[in-house]
Amino acid sequence: MNKINQNGERKRLFMSGVLILLLTLGMVIDEGDYVTHKQISTTVYLQVYSAFLVLLVYIVPFFFLIKRLCRKYRLSGFVLMIAVACGALIPAAFAGEINDSFTSLMRHLMGRAYSDAWLGSLETGVVEELLKLLTVSLLVYLLRWKSASEYLSIGMSVGLGFQIEEDISYITESGFKHVSGAFPAAFDRLLGALGSHWAYTGLAAIGLYLIFQTHRDHHMRRGMFWIVYVMVNHFLYDSPIGDVNLFFALLNVALILPLIAFLRDDDKKDPMRLLRKDE
Please give the Cα distance from 221 to 236 (Å, whole number): 22
Give the pLDDT of residue 265: 63
Entry pTM: 0.91
Q: Convert the pLDDT of each residue in 143-197 to its tens digit.
A: 998 888 899 999 999 999 999 999 999 999 999 999 999 999 999 999 999 999 9
Per DSSP, 116 falls in state I
Closest to 271 in 3D by CA, of 215, 217, 222, 209: 209
Which of 28-42, 43-57, 157-171, 231-245 shows the lowest mean pLDDT across its residues? 28-42
CB of 204 closer than 8 Å to CB of 129: yes
Angle at 208 between CA 2 and CA 272, to 5 degrees: 100
Give the pLDDT of residue 3: 61
Question: Within a 10 A sphere around the Cβ of 18, how many other Cβ atoms?
Answer: 12
Write down the mean pLDDT value for the chain.
89
Cβ burial 175-205 (10 Å sphere, 16+ → b, else e):
bbeebebbbebbeebbebbebbbbbbbbbbb
Please give the Cα distance from 72 to 262 (Å, whole number): 13
Closest to 65 in 3D by CA, of 47, 49, 77, 51: 77
pLDDT over 50 at 133, yes or no: yes
Task: Name the percent of the chain in helix, strand, coil, to the closest 5.
Answer: 85, 0, 15
Alpha carbon 243 to chain centroid distance?
A: 21
> Is the pLDDT higher at 128 or at 267?
128
DSSP H stretches of helix in 33-147: 42-50, 56-73, 77-89, 91-110, 121-143
Closest to 256 in 3D by CA, of 202, 207, 205, 195: 195
Please give the Cα distance from 175 to 189 (Å, whole number): 13
